[in-house]
Amino acid sequence: MAGYLPGCFTEEEIQCLEENAIFPPDPHRSQGKRKISATLIASTPSSNTSISSSASTTSVRTWNFNPSTISTNIPTDKESIEVLEYIGFEPATALDIFQRYTSRPEPDDCPDDLLSYVHGQISDLKGETSHEALARVGINTQIQSAIADPMFSDILWTRDLHFWVKDTLDTNLASLRNQHGLIKRHAGRLIAHKNKRKRRRVQGSFSTEEESTEQIHQPVATINMTSEDFHLPPTCTTIVDGDIPLLPDHIALYKGKAHGEMRSSRQLISSDGTINLSSLYSPPGGDFNSMGNAQYWTPDKEIAEKYRQWTALRCPQSDTCLLTIQVPKEFIETLDIIEIWFSGHWKELVWHCRQQLHLSAQFNSTYEVDLIKGHICAGQTEDLTQITANNIHTFITRDKLLQSRSTGKPGIQWAFQCPASIIRLQEQISGKMHLDIFAATN
């Protein structure tokens, strides 16, 4: 996983973190993990920076960061058994995966990294319906319980077990990467401050009394999170306290995600406010995308929030995010749109797409459209792919639709398909995106 985690902590960073009580003293550093103990304060991303007045400004609201706490163990190595346990494997399975990885022949010429072995471990879950399969591949009990939680069973069966387990493991890995980055950046700031203090002391700027005061450490360290820690550009980000009003002649669309999934080389918001939606793509096998990626959003905020809550349950060490974009109606009217609601045609399209089959001639109209609007299927993916075409209309009944709990109506999804239209969408929502970021629950 060398490409997924930052480098190990340096001795200078470890010493600094210990001095500031973020790493409690630990004589057993060789165990490959350290305890973190700190209070997180979400600083305004625009602090010490003037907010841009351009239309590219993105609004952000943080939840439960003031303060939140970190009190957990994190691996300190890039590739280790501890990393595998952290992301979601039982200890015995983590040991087995790591031993197979480290004993691979000719490792310098082998293209498979540790993440490839992780994904290989769960490949047997494809086509599985039984939750007992999670224990068989070595997934820990916390994730098993979260995935089996009946409150979220409708979301579970919008994809298969393999999809959600892979999503959970990848999200946990992203969370670890972000925790490493947060702690390393904070250590860097502390070291820079310490070095500056030393230089000033040499120049006679500090008295003995001032120096001794600065070395008094609090029992619980405080980390002031900056815009860099949220992966948000400070010059075009503004913090808000209340709800964002709907703009005239716009439609609000929502998505619930792990925040860590959007912290990658494909940064969601660039320094000039440009939005890049590529980190939010859904892979093939959804309701309306058979063989290509798609951008799925919903006009139902409650459904998006339920996705976010389930992510927080599966990945309690991950920050989560509810995204809102406001799309001009005038832009939507320029798109080639198909509406496919619960019907025989909808059932056949979902059945083909869930199996990632090449769409037949009867679906030619869906190949090149910009946007498909339709209901969300919550039927068990495995059953959908195992039934024959002759049984589609009998098996896929109306109770297979994902329901909005407050209204009792079927949930709605918008699937943006065409790459050119998605680029246009990015341009249209610049300055019209809002992020509600929720602190990790563990």
Q: Show the 3-state SS of 122-191.
A: CHHHCCCCCCHHHHHCCECHHHHHHHHCHHHHHHHCCCCHHHHHHHHHHHHHHHHHHHHHHHHHHHHHHH
Residues 65, 38: Cα–Cα separation, whole Å: 12
Q: Would you state the pLDDT for residue 130?
A: 82
Q: Would you state the pLDDT for residue 309?
A: 97
Amino acid at 430: S
Domain residue ranges of the chain, discontinuous segments joined by + = 11-55+65-197+219-225, 234-438
Residues 371, 374: Cα–Cα separation, whole Å: 10
Site of tokens 């600065």: 214
Which among 303, 308, 314, 335 is positioned nearest to 418, based on CA atoms?
A: 335
Residue 420: Cβ within 10 Å count: 8
User: Could you tell me whether strands 58-63 and 412-416 are parallel, antiparallel, or unpaired per DSSP bridges?
Assistant: unpaired
Per-residue pLDDT of the chain (442 residues; tens, 9 = 90+): 544 454 578 888 888 888 888 888 776 655 678 888 778 777 654 443 333 445 568 888 888 877 677 777 888 888 899 999 999 999 999 999 999 999 988 887 788 889 999 999 999 998 777 889 999 999 999 999 999 999 998 999 888 889 999 999 999 998 898 888 888 888 888 898 888 877 777 766 554 444 443 443 445 577 777 767 777 887 788 888 888 899 999 999 999 999 876 655 568 888 888 899 988 999 998 999 988 899 999 999 999 999 999 999 999 999 999 999 999 999 999 999 999 999 999 999 998 898 888 877 777 667 679 999 999 998 766 567 677 888 888 888 998 899 988 888 999 999 999 999 999 999 999 999 999 999 888 7
Q: Would you state the pLDDT for residue 335?
A: 96
Residues 327, 429: Cα–Cα separation, whole Å: 6
Residues 88, 83: Cα–Cα separation, whole Å: 9
Residue 114: Cβ within 10 Å count: 22
User: Which value, to the nearest 10 degrees, does the dihedral of the CA atoms of residues 325, 330, 335, 340 take?
Assistant: 70
Residues 280, 262: Cα–Cα separation, whole Å: 7
Residues 286, 350: Cα–Cα separation, whole Å: 8
Tokens found for residue 77? 């190595």
For residue 296, give the 3-state DSSP assignment.
strand
Residues 222, 342: Cα–Cα separation, whole Å: 52
Task: Report in angstroms the alpha-carbon separations of 35 from 14, 29, 76.
Answer: 12, 10, 10
Residues 430, 327: Cα–Cα separation, whole Å: 10
Is the pTM higher than 0.85? The answer reads yes
Residues 240, 216: Cα–Cα separation, whole Å: 35
For residue 326, give the 3-state DSSP assignment.
strand
Tokens found for residue 404? 């909005």
Q: Would you state the pLDDT for residue 297?
A: 98
> Which residues lie below 8 Å from residue 254, measured CB to CB, with a gap of 6+?
297, 298, 299, 300, 301, 303, 304, 305, 322, 323, 324
61 beta partners: 436
